[in-house]
Amino acid sequence: MSPNVAFRAVTCKLLADVYVLVICGATPALSQIDELVLQVWEGYAQVIKEAKLVYPRNFPLSVNFDTALLGLLVINVSKRRCVFSRHLHSNQKSRAMSGVHRIDILRTFYVTTAKDLAPELKLAEGDEKETD
């Protein structure tokens, strides 16, 4: 990212109540962004509709998860798509861990995973600093 380029956050409507947030630079033109977003996501409309039915879990109720799981991140690297859920269990209130602590752990996991999967996010060897 360049400090000389202004980045835009543009919200595009995919379905009646589903939006995508796009972050881009000076191009493409604002008038083209909706069209590009629809081209990229049009093949996923049915998947998105199905995920909406089980939101915020994002996975069918027929799929059972161990109660020790805090969240789940499924990544399709070749298609550059992912789905994430931190609401895997119907009884979230009975958990001993606070929601804030759980989110912090999951955020750390996501950042670590993203760095391992996306080479452009990796730090150069000389840039890594160890702390004691």
Q: Are residues 86 and 98 in the same domain?
A: yes
Q: Which pLDDT score is estimated for 121?
A: 44
Asked if pLDDT for residue 116 goes beyond 80, the answer is no
Q: Are residues 34 and 92 in the same domain?
A: no
Q: Are residues 62 and 116 in the same domain?
A: yes
Q: Are residues 30 and 66 in the same domain?
A: no
Q: Structural domain tally of the chain?
A: 2
Query: Which domain-ending residue is among 52, 69, 87?
Result: 52
Q: Is the C-alpha dihedral spanning 57, 12, 15, 37 positive or negative? A: negative
What band does 110 get if pLDDT is binned at 50, 70 and 90? confident
Regarding predicted confidence, which is higher, 5 or 106? 106
Residue range of the domain that includes 37:
1-52
Q: Give the separation between CA 125 and CA 132, rounded to whole angstroms.
A: 18
In a domain, 130, yes or no: no
In a domain, 15, yes or no: yes
Q: Which pLDDT score is estimated for 32?
A: 93
Q: CB of 37 within 8 A of CB of 22?
A: yes
**pLDDT average, residue stretch 93-106:** 71
In a domain, 131, yes or no: no
Q: What is the pLDDT of residues 32-85, one digit of tens each?
A: 999 998 898 888 888 888 888 888 887 777 778 888 787 787 777 777 777 778
Q: Are residues 24 and 7 in the same domain?
A: yes
Specify whether the backbone of 110 is left (phi greater than 0), alpha (psi in -120 to 50) or beta: alpha
Q: CB of 72 within 8 A of CB of 84?
A: yes
